[in-house]
Amino acid sequence: MVGYEVSGSTSIYEINADDLFFAGDIDGDGDVDRDDVNIIKAHLREPAGVCPKCDIDGDGVITILDSGKLVKMCTCPRCLCECE
């Protein structure tokens, strides 16, 4: 839970970790790696509605540009995480 106090009143918000989205983490496993890049590649030239998280640049179409931007966001060396 996260709580904030503003001018003497306190508001408490409950945040469900499952609802959070790590930018670029398309498969939701907590990192940005080749698995995420491969998901984008599987959706190339498709409308963003097919995979909204794949449209990294927000232009409405999943393209190689989205893949390139995602590679720059990788959280592991060479875009390979430990368990791969």
Q: How does pLDDT run across 36-64, given as a tens digit for each residue?
A: 999 999 999 999 999 999 999 999 999 99
pLDDT value of position 9: 64
- The Cα–Cα gap between 18 and 41 comes to 25
Q: What's the token pair of residue 77?
A: 């060396």
pLDDT value of position 58: 96
pLDDT value of position 57: 96
Domains (range + CATH), the chain: 22-79 (1.10.1330.10)
Q: pTM (2 decimals)?
A: 0.73
**Which H or E element spans position 2?**
strand 2-6
The SS3 call for residue 83 is: coil
